[in-house]
């Protein structure tokens, strides 16, 4: 889904460039173009659901990823653990800092971005196209060279990535403040850096837990923090003039602090294995209840058959919890 969304953004900017290539103003777009941009991501989302049923998705250790069927009562019980989890609050701090600068270094606005660019729809579309393309390249490069490089342990990969991001941020600042660096080069650096940091954030979340249910709760919690920070920033920029005047410098500071929080999380919570201990009995009870109910609803199954199916599902679930959530490398 993320790949499809990224490609749609690239396509949108490419269309803008094509429409303004021979004339420097945006023509009125027909209505169907908006429907196309809306339907492509929706079709991709629908297709991703139909590709493979969750029960058939397994890791290399032959463990099934799908576990307990979540219920409202079970999620309420589990929600209290979110607020007492220091590692999650560390990631929450990263999300808040990223939210303040809108998650993109485009807010830095390079000094080479003069009126020649800002007054030209064609040039701005081209800059945004460069950004979207380099963003995808950044996500691919950091995954291949660092995050998925199994020649190193997971904790070492995390430290290497943090060090690389600090060095690359210096290059981003050079591209922002040195006039000899063109706006095209600056936007390329911005795209690469944002692709690096966003991919790294998702990878860190996966290192924190391999349990899909926990990850779903964590993502919801982090999104809440992200948008709460966005609301706070909007209120501040609307009411405090000084913040607007120094917004660029504040955003740069937020990026630096986000990298520091990345390093803090690396040091404390990234280990070479990630086995989730389901210490909450309620979740196990919910799972067994749901399995029994689903089997009882199946028509034409004898009592012995029901017991056999229950035992099979329980064994698979236990194996999934004990064996597969490990990703030692």
Are the C-beta atoms of 53 and 272 separated by less than 8 Å? no
Are the C-beta atoms of 183 and 113 separated by less than 8 Å? yes
Q: What is the pTM of this model?
A: 0.74
Instruction: Provide block-wise average pLDDT over 10 residues at a time, the chain (329 residues).
Output: 65 75 65 69 67 56 56 77 86 92 86 84 86 91 92 92 95 93 94 93 86 82 90 87 86 93 90 61 43 46 50 52 43
Closest listed residue to residue 203, CA positions, set 256, 162, 260, 169: 162
For residue 157, the model assigns a pLDDT of: 93
For residue 147, the model assigns a pLDDT of: 92
**How far is 261 from 267, CA to CA, in rounded Å?**
10
Are the C-beta atoms of 199 and 142 separated by less than 8 Å? yes
Handedness of CA 76, 206, 163, 144 (dihedral sign): negative
CB atoms within 10 A of CB 132: 22
CB environment 183-194: b (16+ within 10 A), e (fewer): bebbbbbbbbbb
Tokens of 155: 């904790």
For residue 308, the model assigns a pLDDT of: 55
**How far is 92 from 229, CA to CA, in rounded Å?**
10
For residue 31, the model assigns a pLDDT of: 72
């Amino acid at each position: 889904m993320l790949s499809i969304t990224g490609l749609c953004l690239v396509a949108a900017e490419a269309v803008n460039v094509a429409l303004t290539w021979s004339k420097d103003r945006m023509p009125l777009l027909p209505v169907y173009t908006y429907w196309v941009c809306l339907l492509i991501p929706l079709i991709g989302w629908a297709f991703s659901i139909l590709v493979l049923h969750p029960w058939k998705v397994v890791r290399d250790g032959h463990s099934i990823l799908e576990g307990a069927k979540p219920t409202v009562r079970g999620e309420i019980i589990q929600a209290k653990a979110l607020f007492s989890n220091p590692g999650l609050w560390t990631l929450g701090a990263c999300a808040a800092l990223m939210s303040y600068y809108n998650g993109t270094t485009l807010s830095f606005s390079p000094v080479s971005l003069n009126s020649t660019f800002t007054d030209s729809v064609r040039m701005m579309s081209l800059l945004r196209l460069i950004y979207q393309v380099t963003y995808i390249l950044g996500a691919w490069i950091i995954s291949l060279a660092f995050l998925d490089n199994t020649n190193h342990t997971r904790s070492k990969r995390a430290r290497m990535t943090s060090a690389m991001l600090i060095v690359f941020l210096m290059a981003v600042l050079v591209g922002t403040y040195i006039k000899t660096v063109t706006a095209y080069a600056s936007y390329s650096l911005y795209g690469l850096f944002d692709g690096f940091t966003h991919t790294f954030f998702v990878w860190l979340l996966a290192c924190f837990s391999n349990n899909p249910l926990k990850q779903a709760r964590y993502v919801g919690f982090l999104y809440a923090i992200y948008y709460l920070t966005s609301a706070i920033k909007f209120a501040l920029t609307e009411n405090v003039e000084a913040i607007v005047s120094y917004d660029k410098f504040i955003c740069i500071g937020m990026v630096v602090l986000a990298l520091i929080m990345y390093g803090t999380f690396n040091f404390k919570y990234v280990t070479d294995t990630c086995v989730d201990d389901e210490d909450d009995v309620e979740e196990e009870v919910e799972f067994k209840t749901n399995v029994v109910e689903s089997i009882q609803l199946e028509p034409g199954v004898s009592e012995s058959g029901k017991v056999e199916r229950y035992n099979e599902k329980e064994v698979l679930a236990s194996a999934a919890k004990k064996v597969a959530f490990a990703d030692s490398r």
